[in-house]
Amino acid sequence: MKTKPLINRLAIIGVGLIGGSLARILRDQGEVGEIVGIGRGEANLRKAVELGVVDRYSLDPVAGVAGADLVFLATPVCSIPAITAEIAPHLAAGCVVTDGGSVKEEIVSACEPLMPPGVHFVGGHPIAGTEHSGVEASFASLYAGKRCIVTPTSRTCPDALAKVVRMWEVAGSEVVVMGTEKHDRVVAAISHLPHMVAYSLVNAVGGYDRFDENIIRYSAGGFRDFTRIASSDPAMWRDIALMNREAVIEMMDHFAKYFASLRELVAEADGPALERFFRESKESRDSIL
Ligand SMILES: NC(=O)c1ccc[n+]([C@@H]2O[C@H](COP(=O)([O-])OP(=O)(O)OC[C@H]3O[C@@H](n4cnc5c(N)ncnc54)[C@H](O)[C@@H]3O)[C@@H](O)[C@H]2O)c1
Ligand SMILES: O=C(O)C(=O)C[C@]1(C(=O)O)C=C[C@@H](O)C=C1
């Protein structure tokens, strides 16, 4: 006989790629009773019901979270603290609030103190995604075999943390516990910098005007593989760049040093040093495959 699900009523604020994929896998695993979708775009929410991703929806966050024992926020990062402030006074004791935002320090420090007695906030970030957005882009296996970083603080309730960790394990992820400050530096390096480079590369090539045609149309495998992530949602990346500004700038400066030294090696036509630079990079990249 099936024991009771991990979550009775799940409220998902922002039913897009991240929120929709979590809803799908928790339902597939039988670990959720009812799923309520909350958002601003009614067409997307209607689609979410049609696809069976949520059972019902609300355009009003306060009404939507009524009776929820777990609230998952999956809207662009800059909107998360304000939405949390709006819903917090209306949450039932025992409710756990968590998020999937790509930046943690500012979200956790803003949201944790907003929780009323008996309600707990736990920051989270699945290191999984695609360049596509919206509920139609969501799929149940998104989190399988991926890491999810969870960022408790000294004030985090152990039971709330255990529930969030279990939720990501049910989704198929390996959970890694990390402090918010380290999290923001790590993702600035392994996720935010690559997006900044990809967006810049596409604009640099698209803006190259030596010829009277846009040469980007000649791009093939190399350019396309490298720049897949430049097709990601601009509003999501605007928010990440704004909220993780300091760490992103630090990584962009760090990257600029490496790019400048590579430029030097090319300018000096230093073949052995170029080969060493490329070999070191290839070995590092091959080690993560
Ligand atoms: N896309 C990725 O690869 C990825 C990976 C990990 C984490 N994240 C994080 O997850 C969150 C969601 O990203 P996504 O890719 O699912 O985006 P998405 O665009 O697919 O979904 C976001 C949803 O939130 C809704 N929304 C936006 N602002 C809102 C507001 N103020 N109130 C209510 N609803 C609002 C949108 O209408 C949309 O349905 C972001 O914080 C992002 O940083 C994204
Ligand atoms: O695979 C992609 O398309 C992603 O951009 C996913 C990706 C990343 O790896 O950078 C993007 C943002 C996140 O917060 C986590 C994961």
* Contact by Cβ (8 Å): 173, 148: yes
Q: Judge if pTM exceeds 0.95.
A: yes
Q: How far is the CA of 149 from the centre of ligand 1 (A)?
A: 17
- Pairing type for strands 120-127 and 147-151 reads antiparallel
Q: Mean pLDDT score of the chain, rounded to an integer?
A: 97
Q: Can you tell me whether residue 136 is helix, strand or coil? A: helix
pLDDT at 1: 61
* Contact by Cβ (8 Å): 160, 216: no
Residue nearest to ligand 2 atom 1, measured at CA? 130
Neighbours of 126 (CB within 10 A): 22
Q: What is the mean pLDDT of residues 44-56?
A: 98
* Domain 7-178 bears CATH identifier 1.10.10.10: no
Using a 6 Å cutoff on CB, does residue 51 contact ligand 2? no
E strand or H helix at 168, and its extent?
A: helix 158-170
Which band of pLDDT confidence, cut at 50, 70 and 90, is reported for residue 139? very high
Neighbours of 134 (CB within 10 A): 16
Give the position, in ligand 1's atom list, of the atom nearest the Cα of 134.
Answer: 20
Residue nearest to ligand 2 atom 6, measured at CA? 129
Give the position, in ligand 2's atom list, of the atom nearest the Cα of 131.
Answer: 3
DSSP state of 218: G
Q: What is the pLDDT of residues 144-197, one digit of tens each?
A: 999 999 999 999 999 999 999 999 999 999 999 999 999 999 999 999 999 999
pLDDT at 70: 98
Could you tell me the residue ranges of all domains in the chain?
Answer: 7-178, 182-286
Using a 6 Å cutoff on CB, does residue 21 contact ligand 1? no
Q: What is the pLDDT of residues 83-119, one digit of tens each?
A: 999 999 999 999 999 999 999 999 999 999 999 999 9
Distance CA 202, CA 85 (A): 38
Using a 6 Å cutoff on CB, does residue 76 contact ligand 2? no
Distance CA 227, CA 195 (A): 8
Which band of pLDDT confidence, cut at 50, 70 and 90, is reported for residue 2? low
What ipTM is given for this predicted complex?
0.99
Q: How far is the CA of 63 from the centre of ligand 2 (A)?
A: 31
Q: What is the pLDDT of residues 11-39, one digit of tens each?
A: 999 999 999 999 999 999 999 999 999 99
The residues that bridge with 127 in the sheet, in sequence order, are 147
Residue nearest to ligand 1 atom 40, measured at CA? 76
* Contact by Cβ (8 Å): 177, 150: yes
Q: What is the mean pLDDT of residues 196-202?
A: 98
Q: How far is the CA of 154 from the centre of ligand 2 (A)?
A: 28
Give the position, in ligand 2's atom list, of the atom nearest the Cα of 240.
Answer: 14
Using a 6 Å cutoff on CB, does residue 124 contact ligand 1? no
Instruction: Please give the structure tokens belonging to residue 139.
Output: 């799929």
Q: Is the dihedral angle over the CA atoms 42, 48, 54, 56 positive or is it negative?
A: positive
Q: What is the pLDDT of residues 245-271, one digit of tens each?
A: 999 999 999 999 999 999 999 999 999
Q: Which CATH number among 3.30.420.40, 1.10.3660.10, 3.40.640.10, 3.40.50.300 corresponds to the domain 182-286?
A: 1.10.3660.10
Q: CA geometry: angle at 79 spanning 73 and 84, to 5°?
A: 55
Q: Is the dihedral angle over the CA atoms 82, 171, 146, 164 positive or is it negative?
A: positive
Using a 6 Å cutoff on CB, does residue 102 contact ligand 2? yes
pLDDT at 3: 80
Residue nearest to ligand 1 atom 24, measured at CA? 14
Using a 6 Å cutoff on CB, does residue 129 contact ligand 2? yes
